[in-house]
Structure 1
Amino acid sequence: MGHSGTPGAAPPFDPELNAALADLGVESREPVTPGNLRARQQQDAAARPRPTAEELRADGRFAVAELRVPGPPDGPEVTLVSARPSGLVGPLPLLYYMHGGAMVMGNAWSVLPRLLREWALPLGLAVLSVEYRLAPRAQYPEPLEDCYAGLVWAAGHAAELGIDADRIVIGGKSAGGGLAAALALLARDRGGPRALGQLLLCPMLDDRGTTFSSHQLAGDGVWGLTSNTTAWKALLGDRHGAANLPPYAAPSRATDLSGLPPAYVEVGSAEIYRDEDVAYANAIWQAGGQAELHVWPGAYHGFDGLAPRAALSQDARNARTRWLQRLLAQAAV
């Protein structure tokens, strides 16, 4: 397959999603480059909400605590933000979640109001959101090792956390989805905690930037090829694009996808990650594994965050929730 795709030939955006895109400021649609990365990180840290534990408790609806747990060997402690609906008797299933932000931005707190409202409350889930180290200050494997150390700690302290160690779903969005996929591979290969499932929302999986969609949608105003390459180089440094890069650094590099927890993979038809994410789900099936794949038509990267009320965003949220429900119900049988 050649890269004959031109911007004119890209799948059109869903009309409702396109309207939300028009409301975005010009600055937020500028590509991230090595030259502006530091400024963009500072801008993100200032603009992205960072709700306090008190705010997250929402007048007592949720029990919230910030935990400092042992980090990876030779690494600092890892902060996990623990939240669950108040008054539920455990042990609860756990969603172990990695935030998005291209490995260079984001925080563990900002994603929690939504996770609590959409999943923890209706499904009776506990949530742990991981504050992993960001690139380029931290580079592979440090962010992933932070996530792994937190997962091992959580599984080993299930009783005191009031969670069921046999019902841990790992998940994340964008960079967090890539970390969740890498975490599933790493836990399998190290004999670590086995997750019940992996929730991979528009995951960032391939550092090479060579898929058809990464060129067809290179100039996408939400997250294009320039921004993506900047983020991968921040994470990998000199190892970016290297032939021998481990699959834990970029899960698209994995040649063995057997023995993994059931995966939920979703992506938009109009974003650069489309082809790598579809290929990942397909490779799981080819290895005899379980995956549910959704490609949302006319959706750009992170569409449901920008246009939460769009019909497509509601359908995507419902589909994720139903997958989680089915997974947890099967585990309870």
Structure 2
Amino acid sequence: MQLDEIDLEAAGHTFRLRTYQPAEPHGPVLVWMHGGAFMFGDLDMPEADQVARQLCERGVAVVSVDYTLAPLDALPALLPADGAGPDLPPPPLSPAPRARFPVASLQIAAAFDWATGNAKNLGGDPQRVSVGGASAGANLAASAGMRLRDRGTDRPASLALVYPVLHNEVPAVNDELAALLAPLPPFLTFPPASMAAINHNYAGESVTDPYVYPAGHDLRGLPATLIINAEADRLRMSGEAFAAELALAGVDTTVIRERGTGHGYLNETGSLAADRTIERLFAWLTAA
């Protein structure tokens, strides 16, 4: 496995790519984005690095994107109202300049173009470049799929979305999911107020733009899409509803519920569920 880092510029901001070139490539290339409510995350978090490494070990070339993060204005809305909560270390905060939509969205499209142009150098096939991500990163992947479709030139071979958020307003939970969420502290269940704060922080007044939250817009012509949802996750409602919309739009769609998981489980290093999801991603990319 060979790792390299490249600086690109798009939408007036410099951002970084980390490439993972397999020793024995099988052809697929994945442009991959970590999550973090559009405000947090980096290339070293397990959701980015461990996913990329494990896929690379299986022969997939990965381009992990260190996209420009949104401001931190929504941070207070994500914390427990009473100040009580688990004693967790604060997430690492990037010192890089921050910006709202459409900066990160445009950067993912630029990263796809770079990956397509350099696929052969990574041991991959330019016709087999997929785009994927987790949580907010999955949102950015879907947004890139929309942009690249509308542009009318090169498009991804497929989309791979893990516990994605695809709606401006996440559909209401059903009784089964409500029972799974009940034991969790409310601030960990993505309550509507927190989601509204995240939306506004990322997109400002552009939350209805189809390149912000694709759900509810014209999805015809998108590439085949894999959606993997966490079981005990309010955002599962977004992933499942979006899968239904894709199917109705004639898009080949596979939707999976990863049992026994909560949002962000790809950051649980050594987790059997995380390993299982990575194996699912590998099978999907190999077939794409």
TM-score, structure 1 length as denominator? 0.69
Amino acid at match of 1:145: L
Alignment of 1:1-333 (within 5 A): 62-72=1-11, 75-86=12-23, 88=24, 92-110=27-45, 111-122=47-58, 124-136=59-71, 137-212=98-173, 216=178, 217=181, 220=186, 222-225=188-191, 226-240=193-207, 245-254=208-217, 256-306=218-268, 308-310=270-272, 312-327=273-288
The alpha-carbon distance between structure 1 residues 203 and 91, as it changes in their structure 2 partners (threshold 3 A), is: same
* Maintained 8 Å contact 1:213/1:272: no
The 2-side partners of 1:306 and 1:159 are apart by: 32
The 1-side partners of 2:134 and 2:31 are apart by: 12
The 1-side partners of 2:138 and 2:123 are apart by: 25
| Corresponding residue SS for 1:128 | strand
The 2-side partners of 1:221 and 1:201 are apart by: 21
Question: What RMSD, in angstroms, separates the aligned Cα atoms of the two structures?
Answer: 2.6
- Equivalent pairs counted in the alignment come to 255
| Corresponding residue SS for 1:163 | coil
The 2-side partners of 1:129 and 1:314 are apart by: 18
* Maintained 8 Å contact 1:213/1:271: no
The alpha-carbon distance between structure 1 residues 304 and 221, as it changes in their structure 2 partners (threshold 3 A), is: farther
Shift of 1:220: 4.6
Shift of 1:165: 1.1
Unaligned runs of 5+ in 2: 72-97
The 2-side partners of 1:160 and 1:322 are apart by: 23
The alpha-carbon distance between structure 1 residues 221 and 300, as it changes in their structure 2 partners (threshold 3 A), is: farther
Shift of 1:223: 4.4
* Maintained 8 Å contact 2:5/2:16: yes
Identical positions, percent: 29
Shift of 1:131: 1.1
Deviations 1:176-226 (A, max 9, x none): 011111111110011242111111000121122453369944955544224
Deviations 1:229-265 (A, max 9, x none): 332221022344xxxx1111111232x2111111110
The 2-side partners of 1:196 and 1:115 are apart by: 19
TM-score, structure 2 length as denominator? 0.79
The 1-side partners of 2:275 and 2:186 are apart by: 23
The 2-side partners of 1:100 and 1:300 are apart by: 14
The alpha-carbon distance between structure 1 residues 304 and 161, as it changes in their structure 2 partners (threshold 3 A), is: closer
The 2-side partners of 1:186 and 1:222 are apart by: 31
| Corresponding residue SS for 1:68 | strand
Amino acid at match of 1:114: Q
| Corresponding residue SS for 1:151 | helix
Which entry has the higher C-alpha Rg, 1 or 2?
A: 1
The 2-side partners of 1:279 and 1:290 are apart by: 15
Deviations 1:62-82 (A, max 9, x none): 21111112423xx12331111
Higher helix share: 1
| Corresponding residue SS for 2:10 | coil
Amino acid at match of 2:195: N
Unaligned runs of 5+ in 1: 1-61, 328-333
Deviations 1:239-292 (A, max 9, x none): 44xxxx1111111232x2111111110112321111111011111111111111
Amino acid at match of 1:197: S
The 2-side partners of 1:316 and 1:67 are apart by: 27
The alpha-carbon distance between structure 1 residues 162 and 237, as it changes in their structure 2 partners (threshold 3 A), is: same
